[in-house]
Amino acid sequence: MARRKYVVGNWKMNGGSAAIGEAEAIFAAAAPHTSVDVAICPPFTLIGTLAAALPGATIGGQDCHHAASGAFTGSVAAPMLVDAGATLVIVGHSERRDGCGETDADVQAKAEAALGAGLTVILCVGEPRAVRESGGAIDHVLAQVAGSLPAAFAANRLAIAYEPIWAIGTGLVPTVADVEAMHGAIRAALATRFGGAAQEMRILYGGSVNGENAAELLGARDVDGALVGGASLTAGKFVPIIAAAAELAG
């Protein structure tokens, strides 16, 4: 089945009030590309500002806590993201798994909390370079998928983002054949678990996506969009990725 392309910018820990103009430029340039869903996930401090400045734009969070409230200093709950104007959230990014020690169970709990609060979820998975080189990448990623998926969800409210850890911010990119093999394996695993609903779920690729390689990566089989890091910080770099997705969507 045809799935709409989905291009999401993860600004990570970048951006202050001076970045509002870039977000406005991105969504203005993306507006004519009606065949592509576009979102930006800025730092929490900018969610409310961007949601207010860009009504109708899809603004998301980069993480959330599994609890709705409580004594969790420095954490952000899913209902807080909703209150700030977010409609989606990223969970399980490798920079959270590796840097903060998050387990599959942690990611699953966050995904369930986000879905319960009414957010759409992008659930990240990916392998380190040593696992890729040992030939265990697919098994590693499918184990993450199995352990991180929430127990129940609507197919249109959860996407999987495959981000090989060794490709994030490094300029290294797997071959299209490797990307297709991984995305195909994820799709098959989802089909085994959820049946026909798996065909509605979008699987994004992330890891050094830019304007030069976007068309090739987004045109690969079972690649339904991109989760973009550094190249999403400016309209000049992000819009060509959106345009490539639109051209493929026809």
Q: Compute the half-sphere exposure of residue 248: CA atoms within 13 Å on the CB side of its CA.
A: 26
- Residue 25 included in any domain: yes
Q: Would you put residue 167 in left (φ > 0), alpha (ψ -120 to 50) or beta?
A: alpha
Q: What is the CATH number of the domain that holds 125?
A: 3.20.20.70
Q: What is the number of structural domains in the chain?
A: 1
pLDDT score for 231: 97
Is residue 193 one of the residues assigned to a domain?
Answer: yes
pLDDT at 179: 97
* Cβ atoms of residues 12 and 51 within 8 Å: no
CA distance 39 to 57: 7
In this prediction the pTM is 0.97
Which residue segment(s) compose the domain that 93 sits in?
A: 5-199
Supply the pLDDT for residue 1.
Answer: 62
Residue 123 lies in a domain: yes
Residue 100 within a domain: yes
Catalytic residue of the set 93, 102, 127, 183: 93
Rounded CA-CA distance 160/235 in Å is 25
pLDDT of residue 2: 82
Residue 169 inside a domain? The answer is yes
19 is a domain residue: yes
| The one catalytic residue among 22, 112, 163, 183 | 163
Within-domain flag for 209: no
Active-site residue flag, 183:
no
Please confirm, yes or no, whether 95 is among the known catalytic residues: no
The answer to whether position 47 is within a domain reads: yes
Return averaged pLDDT per consecutive 10 residues of the chain, 250 residues in all: 92 97 98 97 98 97 98 98 98 95 98 98 97 97 98 93 94 94 98 94 96 97 98 98 94
